[in-house]
Each structure stands twice: as C-alpha cells, then as structure tokens.
C-alpha cells in the first residue's frame, strides 16, 4: 500500500507541476503580445545624402557648397556599397566640415529623418515646373527649360527680357557678390553624374559673375520604399462593439440624486442657499 500511495503522490505532484507550467507558459505568451505601429509619410524615402546637405545648409551656406564639392558623384557608390557602408561614407565626407558633436547631431537627424520634408518640398517645386520628359537633371532660366548643357548659353541671351523667377528662403544660392544677374535654377540630385556635369558649367559661370546659380533638389526616379518616420507618438483607439443592457430607471435616479446634492452644496460668498431654502419653507 505504501508504494501505491507514493506513486499516486508523485503522479499528483507531476500533474500539478505540468498544470503550473502550462499556465505559466500561457501567461508568458499572452504577456508577450504587443501592438507594433509604423508611421509612414505620404512621400517616398529620400536619399540620406540630400538630407545631409540640408543639415550642412543649416550650419552655413558656405559649408553646404563645400560639402557639395566633395560629394559630386558620391551616389554612384550607392549601387555597389551596402546601405550601412554608404551611410558611413556620407558621415565620413561630412566629418571634413563638422566636429564630433555636430556629427552626432547629424546621426540623430538621420534617425528621425528630420530633413526629409525639406527634400520633398523641393521635389514638389520641381513637379510644378514641370520637368522635361526623360531628364535626370534640368535647368530653368527665366521660364525656359532645358536638360541640355549646350543650350544654356542660348537661353541666357534674352533671359533678362523675361520674368525673373521667385526665389524661396530655403533655396541654395551659389556664393556671389552680385544679385542683379540672370537666374539659373538647377534641378538635380546631388551626387549623380548628371548633377556633376551641370554643376561644373554653372559654378564656373557664377564665379565669373555671369549668372546667379541656384540649386534645388530633384529626384527623377524616387525610391519605391516607404518613408517611415520615428519620434512621433501614435495613439490606437480601440472601441468595444459589445452591447450591454442597463436599467435606465436606476441610472436616472442616481443622476437626479447627485444633481440635488450638488445644488445643495453650492455656496455663494458664504451663503448656503440649500440650507436657506429649508429654513424658509
């Protein structure tokens, strides 16, 4: 009998342990469930190189153009390097003009995509021109468009007789001492060969005092990736659709009693009008 009792006790203990472990596992699984939310912008992902240039522009216009000179054809490495290697390459180029503190700020700006809206703003401005078909880059010279470098000289001849374009506060102007010059706006993606070819010609003309050279970002083939944003709060409002039956009469009674109590408790400059009503009547 003793061995049988011992066997039953062991079975009971094992059964209790198994039940406890199963409940613990169920609690762990239920506790690990979470809701993950991603906030995506309405525009596609923007290149980090352009975002880095906007960071430079906030530092100074001089640093923007210095940084631009060092990354004229940097985008070609994006096709052969991994995203992480290309990211580090951009930071290395930016490090030529920034100290460690500002490099950390640039990394933070990358993480929250702080300058992506600025890139999209220029993209919208370019769409309103609109850009010529099949052009990786193009220039606008007083309402006239072209994506051929050899046509720039021709369009400049009578540029002053046409309407001068409106320039925005965020436009990137090539450093010059003169402002009353024909305005040439380049729409191009920094770091590409098309940009480099236009920039070489326009920067030379700007240095010679022939034109006012303005650069606006333009991406001919936007990324297919979504632009995910971080650093923003997301609220999920979950509403129960179950219908519950309640006794309205009890609710009304409680509500009326509460209103009466609140009315009696009202005090106006030391006078309790609820008490006065009781004394009068």
The full set of domain ranges for the chain reads 41-229
3-class SS of residue 5: helix
Q: 271 or 199: which carries more pLDDT confidence?
A: 199
Q: 224 or 9: which carries more pLDDT confidence?
A: 224
Q: Provide the whole-model pTM.
A: 0.70
Asked if 87 contacts 147 with a C-beta cutoff of 8 angstroms, the reply is: no
Give dist(CA 31, CA 131) in Å, integer.
Answer: 53
Q: What is the tens place of the pLDDT at every residue in 69-92?
A: 999 888 778 777 888 999 999 999
Q: What is the DSSP letter of 160?
A: G
71-85, 95-109, 191-205: least confident range? 71-85
Q: How confident is the model at residue 267 (pLDDT cuts 50, 70, 90)?
A: low
Q: How confident is the model at residue 266 (pLDDT cuts 50, 70, 90)?
A: low
């Amino acid at each position: 009998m003793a061995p049988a009792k011992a066997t039953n006790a062991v079975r009971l203990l094992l059964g209790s342990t198994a039940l406890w472990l199963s409940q613990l596992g169920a609690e762990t699984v239920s506790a690990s469930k979470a809701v993950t939310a991603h906030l995506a912008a309405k525009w596609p992902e923007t290149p980090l190189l352009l975002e880095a240039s906007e960071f430079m522009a906030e530092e100074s216009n001089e640093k923007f153009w210095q940084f631009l000179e060092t990354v004229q054809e940097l985008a070609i490495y994006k096709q052969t390097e991994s995203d992480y290697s290309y990211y580090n390459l951009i930071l290395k180029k930016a490090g030529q003009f920034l100290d460690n503190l500002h490099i950390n700020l640039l990394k933070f700006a990358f993480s929250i995509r702080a300058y992506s809206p600025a890139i999209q703003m220029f993209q919208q401005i370019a769409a309103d021109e609109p850009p010529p078909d099949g052009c990786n880059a193009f220039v606008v010279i007083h309402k006239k468009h072209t994506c051929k470098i050899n046509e720039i000289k021709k369009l400049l001849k009578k540029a002053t007789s046409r309407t001068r374009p409106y320039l925005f506060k965020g436009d990137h102007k090539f450093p010059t001492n003169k402002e009353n010059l024909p305005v040439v706006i380049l729409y191009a993606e920094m770091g590409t060969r098309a940009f480099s070819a236009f920039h070489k010609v326009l920067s030379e003309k700007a240095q010679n005092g022939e034109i006012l050279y303005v650069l606006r970002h333009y991406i001919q083939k936007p990324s297919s990736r979504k632009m995910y944003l971080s650093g923003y709060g997301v609220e999920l409002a979950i509403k129960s659709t179950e219908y519950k039956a309640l006794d309205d009469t009890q609710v009304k009674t409680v509500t009326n009693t509460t209103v009466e109590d609140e009315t009696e408790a009202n005090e106006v400059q030391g006078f309790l009008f609820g008490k006065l009503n009781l004394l009068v009547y």
